[in-house]
Amino acid sequence: MKNKEQIFKIRHSLAHILAIAVLDKYPDTKITIGPVIENGFYYDIDFGENKIAENDLKDFQKKMKKIISQKLDFDKVEISKEEALEKFKNNEYKTELINEIADNGEAIMLYKTGQIFEDLCEGPHIENTSEIPTDAFKLTKVAGAYWRGDEKNKMLTRIYGVAFETSEELKEYEEKIREAEKRDHRKLGKELDLFTFSNLVGAGLPMFTPKGTKIREAVTDKIWKLQSALGWERVVSPHITKKELYETSGHWAKFSDELFKVSGKSDTRFVMKPMNCPHHTQIFASSPKTYKDLPIRYAENGVVYRDEQAGELAGLTRVRSITQDDGHAFVTPEQVEQEIKNIVSIIKDFYTKLGMLEDGNYWVSLSLHNPEEPEKYLINEDGLFLEAERILEKIAQDENLPYKKMEGEAAFYGPKLDFQFKDALGREWQLGTVQLDFNMPKRFGLEYVDKDGEKKTPIMIHRAIAGSLERFMAVMIEHTAGNFPFWLSPVQAKIIPVGDFANEYSENIFKKLKEAGFRVEFDDSNDGFGKKVRKAKKEKLPYFIVIGEKDIESEKLTLESRDEENSEQIAFEELLEKFKKENE
């Protein structure tokens, strides 16, 4: 993108032009808001009794091009509240916005498009519609959206569009979208039988099949193997808690609207836990600690719950039940640097095994405080906050991390390192993270006795390797297009006998591989051999093992790979070593 400011103006202006096209065909509709979003724009519209479908978009787009060809000017005008209310007196959505703007003491601005349209808007916009390339935008889809994102409000119709500076960029985007549709984790999750949703269970509450569960277990087992070697220990905390826990932690004041409330037989108010960290403070506080006990490291794959709005739910990437790959270390100031280096080593090892830790495929946000707004952060006189920033940058340098300083991105309780990874489509995902917390231990009165016999407050390190297992799984499905690496694949190999005569030999191979700990299946169905092979390929299995007459005679087997065209005859012991190596 050559000119970010210009493309923003073009996209914003196209939202207004879309509104003009809609009103031309449906004069009684009520337009609401039309912001710029990534790659394009949308407009939320109340069509009343009219029903709009995606086949209407071509007509709207054709009309938009005609409007653009008229070379209309965009002009900004400031008007009074009374004038604005009069202009939009038949549109309750605009009226609500006008009153809000006025109540906030802000100026009310209109943008006029030629002499045919005016909209409540702050801008910015292009000067003239001639600046819009008509071959570089497209209306893409129709969706439902509640007014202002609140499901208590009326459902509106949202029309999406994309826009770029050139037609070539639009074509590249469309190709990427086609590829993304092939990789959509919701589509592949169903085809590969990994997870499901049920209306009886509820939206945003995924359930994982045996195959999907095997992927989750492979992820958590791999992480556990890496972190247990560095002193992490598993803990378990309950799914509900008294609200007082989150009042003390500070989460209640900030997130109470996002929490599920639970009522019991008593008057005590409970909530479904939205995060694990406050619980872990209470495990720490359950017994006296000295400096000799620290670092203390708690790890938990705990399920937490957030009351997300229905319209924001999206497959596994946005859910209401979240399995967090969560961990919290309690350390002394002297231990911070080494502890974070250990966590970084776990993150690097894990993503190296996924093939995602390559140059150019990831970067690290060194999230710092904003020096111009120190009041937003807990920067105490002890200087630990600023010292922690220095330590994090030193670690980023020592570990050769491709980091960027991001001022204003720190948590209020301390700075952090956020690992940003690119998937196969170039999309960025924030997955691993390390955060320093000077706030929560103090709020809960956590203490340890130092070597001089004085009581001190520990520093808390929050860390996640995969983050949300649901979101991580969605990313991995789309990144690999369902072609999981061997160690992550729910079924690593399938044994396929050529005919019934090979069943006994095949079953023997199957049992030996199972005993060795590999995730294998034995296809002894009545389907023909060709159908069995096609099924194995459709399931995207890393390997399938064919057993025929020659294999039995030679006491070998034929190994077919998903990633290689040629098959190979191989002895069982050789196969075992090959699988063990790939599993590591």
Catalytic residues: 277, 306, 324, 326, 328, 416, 462
From CA 30, how far away is CA 144, in angstroms rounded?
A: 15
Please give the C-alpha separations between residue 440 and each of 41, 69, 104, 168, 447, in angstroms, as whole numbers.
40, 59, 34, 51, 12
Beta bridge partners of 358: none
- The structure tokens 């193997």 sit at 225
- Paired tokens of 563: 């990633």
Q: In a 3-state reduction of DSSP, which class is residue 102?
A: helix
What single DSSP character describes residue 245?
A: H
How far is 164 from 38, CA to CA, in rounded Å? 11
Give the SS3 label for residue 431: strand
With H, G, I as helix, E, B as strand and everything else as coil, classify residue 363. strand
Q: Would you call 180 helix, strand, or coil by DSSP?
A: helix
Sequence-separated (6 or more) residues with CB below 8 Å from residue 54: 141, 142
Residue 292: closest CA among 461, 453, 435: 453
Helix axes 336-353, 384-398, angle to 10 degrees: 40
* Amino acid of residue 409: E
- Helix, strand and coil content of the chain, in percent to the nearest 5, comes to 40, 25, 35
Alpha carbons 575 and 569: distance in angstroms, whole number = 10
Sequence-separated (6 or more) residues with CB below 8 Å from residue 338: none
Rounded to whole angstroms, the Cα distance separating 524 from 518 reads 18
Q: Supply angle C-alpha 444, 448, 451, rounded to 5.
A: 160
Q: Which of 302, 55, 319 lies closest to 186, judged by CA?
A: 319
Burial 11-27 (b: 16+ CB within 10 A, else e): bbbbbbbbbbbbbbeee
User: Per-residue DSSP letters for 295-315?
Assistant: SEEEEEEEEEE----GGG-BT
